[in-house]
Structure 1
Amino acid sequence: MRCFIGLDLPVKTKLALESWRQKALPEVKERAQTKRPAKSNTPAESVAVPTANFHITLAFLGQVDARQHEALLNEMEQVKGSPFSLTLDSTALWEGPKILLAAPGEPDDALMDLARQVRKAARAAGVQVDGRPYRPHVTLVRKATDALPPPLFAPDIHADFSQFHLFESFSNAQGVRYPIRHSWPLIPNMSVRERLRQGLTDN
């Protein structure tokens, strides 16, 4: 199974991002809606990522076998984090993977700590994880190059997160989908008394 650990954006946030993309990146909208035959001597056209696929990756895992999958589920149970919020208010064009993305200008400390814990847990499960510095983002456009005009204005989109997930990266004739295969809650940092009152004990 090809998979990753990540955050699923709330539906309201996905729709807000889609609305922003249509207004700020009209060229992508036009290209996505126009079917034209491919020509070998023309550059690949930018492709709008489907709204349903908007997410923030915490750790890309790649191909995971049955043993690693079981170990992952066990290790992720040890990850502890509190719910958090972030604002997607900046964009960037990454030339390597050729993507245009939206990102938080100042990532929440809780998000960065969650990503650190998730990567540590994945390694403990025997899964190789990218060692480069973590840069949270939402991919909006693929096959993006310098020829793509920059966004007309920056986004300002809020999102709240109370859980993280194991996603499968699944391809078929209709394209790529990211079904959620397992979820873990982010639990507020409460006193023992408050946790008992809300029935959030480990027993």
Structure 2
Amino acid sequence: MWYRLMTNCTRNICTAAGKRVFLGFALTTEQTKQIEAIQSQLPENVRLVPSQNLHMTLAFFGYASNETIDALINNIDAMSKPHFTVHLDCIAHWKKPKILCLKGTASDPNLLSIANDSQTIAQKLKLHQSEYHYNPHITLSRKAKEAVDGICYTALTLQPNALHLFESFAGKDGVEYPILHSWHLT
């Protein structure tokens, strides 16, 4: 098992016993450029997600102890991780988290299987579980108060080769998402 063991101290709260973690898929350089082209058309009053943080989330788990992270990795090792394709073709505004995102529909049975298995593992390990049906998306911006119109873009097709366990923490220059562990899709 190869993940970074370190203590994150932010806002005077130490999380030596755990990390905020999620599963997701990284973007290629070309896909990142496509997202940046969309972001360049968004209103100035939104906070853009930095290029290095762009990803498609599979499952958010919340805080997990180092022991739980070990168990999470072991469970994902045993999980089927097939290749899939997803088309992200709609810019949406989600009111509650106040985000703009490029979203699609989880219609590929392989993606649905990975998403469902991830939630089963979360339940087994008593981690955060989504209350919603899986909705593939890439967050474009935060602090978005309303939907946007007139954005010119081409649908983005993702066919990732790897699944990643990311950590989320507040770094000196904002939120950072280092990869703790990776698995090849088969």
Normalised by the shorter chain, which TM-score bucket? 0.7 to 0.9
What is residue 76 of structure 1 aligned with on the other side? 76
Runs of 5+ consecutive residues of structure 1 not aligned to the other structure: 32-44, 188-203
Q: CA deviation at 1:122?
A: 2.5
Amino acid at match of 1:175: G
Root-mean-square deviation over aligned CA pairs: 1.7
| Matched position secondary structure for 2:144 | coil
Asked if the contact 2:38/2:151 (under 8 Å) is kept, the reply is no
Q: In the alignment, does 2:36 pair up with 1:18?
A: yes
What is residue 193 of structure 1 aligned with on the other side? none
Matches of 1:133 and 1:9, distance apart in 2: 23
Once the two structures are superposed, what CA deviation does each residue of 1:18-58 show, in whole Å capped at 9, x if it has no partner? 12322x42x2xxx3xxxxxxxxxxxxx31011111111111
Runs of 5+ consecutive residues of structure 2 not aligned to the other structure: 1-18
Q: CA deviation at 1:16?
A: 1.3
Normalised TM-score (structure 2): 0.83
What is residue 113 of structure 1 aligned with on the other side? 113
Question: Relative to 1, partners in 2 of residues 1:109 and 1:47: Cα closer, same or farther, differing over 3 Å?
Answer: same
Identity %: 32
The structure with the greater share of residues assigned to helix is 1
| Matched position secondary structure for 1:161 | coil
| Matched position secondary structure for 1:70 | helix
Question: Relative to 1, partners in 2 of residues 1:125 and 1:86: Cα closer, same or farther, differing over 3 Å?
Answer: same
Q: How many residues align?
A: 168
Normalised TM-score (structure 1): 0.76
The structure with the greater share of residues assigned to strand is 2
Larger Rg belongs to: 1
Equivalent residue runs for 1:77-96 within 5 Å: 77-96=77-96
Asked if the contact 1:162/1:186 (under 8 Å) is kept, the reply is yes
